[in-house]
Amino acid sequence: MKYSIRPIALCEGFRDMSQWTYRWNIGKKVKTACYIWYIEGLEPITIVDAGAQKEHFTNPEFPMKTRMSLEEGLSQINIKPEEIENVIVTHLHFDHIALAYRYENATFIVQKEELEYARNPHIFNSVDYNPQLFEGLSFKIVQGDTELYPGINLLHTPGHSPGGQSVQINTDKGKAIITGFCSQMSTFTQTPFMKEKGLEVAACGLHTDCRIAYDTALRVKNAADIIIPNHDPQYMDIKTIP
């Protein structure tokens, strides 16, 4: 089975580039976006991540603005929130789950380790988890790498969070991977300095373990024919991937 991916950018803003490239590019501001991703051609009707709006970003150092409402975004693919059957949750940080209750008939597919940690995170990570956004949802819990459907595989990709999962999707142009950790294309771009030091990717700035985050990014880079970093702004104006 082969599919395509429809990116829907619900909000946008600016971040320090070091959020995507730990230890590098400190102080350089770049555009970022928060998406949901519709897997076109898959039954049941499935999206990746639940999305968020500007009001969910309460830290004044990281403001965002809404580009469109959830209903406006889904109208691009002629679907209503209540028609969504599956939401694959890359991880349970608030910006990936904030709108979950709007999908009233959906099952939320999440890694066991992520759900357990999100319910009792370390105090330093607790700012990124809000149990009120996900408790009571209908969960399908998976553990580790999992074939979800023919041509759709979940890859356990920790480091940014303990139970992050990336979504590998077969397309006409090869395997596309939506990252389960916050990243932009810069995360996967080898600079001359990195090459000199033998580094092939960067780790994301927010992590529970920077070494695991690096290994995870390298795994995705090596496995994907098409890398889809989940906060890269390039998809704001792209209708379909590939």
Tell me the per-residue pLDDT of 106-161, one tens digit each, with 9 for 90 and over. 999 999 999 999 999 999 999 999 999 999 999 999 999 999 999 999 999 999 99
Expressed as residue numbers, the domain containing 23 is 4-232
pLDDT over 90 (residue 61): no
- Identify the CATH number of the domain in which residue 215 sits: 3.60.15.10
Residue 221 above 90 pLDDT? Answer: yes
Q: What CA–CA distance (Å, rounded) separates 181 from 23?
A: 17
The answer to the question of residue 162 being in a domain is yes
Provide the number of structural domains found in the chain. 1
Instruction: Tell me if residue 57 falls in helix, strand or coil.
Output: coil
In what helix (H) or strand (E) does residue 226 lie, and over which residues does it extend? strand 226-228
What are the phi and psi torsion angles at 201 (to 5°)?
A: -140, 175
Query: Residue 233: what are its φ and ψ, rounded to 5°?
Result: -70, -10
Residue 146 token pair: 């999992």
**32, 231 contact by CB (below 8 A):** yes
pLDDT of residue 117: 98
pLDDT of 226 reads 98
Contact 126, 118 (CB under 8 A): no
Give the pLDDT of residue 56.
93
User: Would you say residue 60 has pLDDT above 90?
Assistant: no
Residue 172 lies in a domain: yes
Does the residue 128 lie in any domain?
A: yes
Q: Is residue 123 in some structural domain?
A: yes
Share of the chain above pLDDT 90, in %: 97
- Rounded distance, CA 125 to CA 102, Å? 25
Give the pLDDT band (50/70/90) at residue 46. Answer: very high
In a domain, 193, yes or no: yes
